Amino acid sequence: MKIQPLADRIMVKVLEAKDVTKGGIVLPDTAKEKPQEAEVIAVGKGKISDGKVVVPEVKAGDKILFGKYSGTEITMDGKEYLILKEEDILAIVK
């Protein structure tokens, strides 16, 4: 199944939270922070502003940072994804 986000929505695959701290302490699942880094899977065509389409700045394959509690979680073909608005994206990771 393929999903094409609408308007300025972006579908991402959230990257896994780290299991070990910098000091080498192994974290159980309950102690892990919610991840804020993801890979862009699909991008909508853009939103309409003043009669013109504003194309999103991100593209499929980009790694991004997003707000901690942003977006809507979905499950497709047994995999979990997140659909965000472009304004929820904080930065592109280079």
Token couple for 68:
């901690």
How much is the pLDDT for 75?
A: 93
Report residue 66: phi and psi, to 5°.
Answer: -135, 165
Q: Is the residue at 38 inside a domain? A: yes
Look at residue 5 and tell me whether its pLDDT is greater than 90.
Answer: yes
Of residues 42, 56, 53, 61, the one with CA closest to residue 89:
56
Query: How many domains does the structure of the chain reveal?
Result: 1
What CATH number did the domain enclosing 81 receive?
A: 2.30.33.40
Q: Is the residue at 35 inside a domain? A: yes
Q: What is the full DSSP assignment across 27-54? A: PPGGGPPPP-EEEEEEE---EEETTEEE
Q: Is the residue at 71 inside a domain? A: yes
Q: Is the residue at 23 inside a domain? A: no
pLDDT tens-digit readout, 25-84: 776 666 556 668 999 999 999 999 899 999 999 999 999 999 888 999 999 999 999 999
Q: 8, 47 in Cβ contact below 8 A?
A: yes
Q: Name which residue leads in pLDDT, 50 or 17.
A: 50
* 54 contacts: CB under 8 Å, gap ≥ 6: 8, 46, 47, 48
Q: Which domain holds residue 75?
A: 9-18+31-93
Q: Is the residue at 83 inside a domain? A: yes
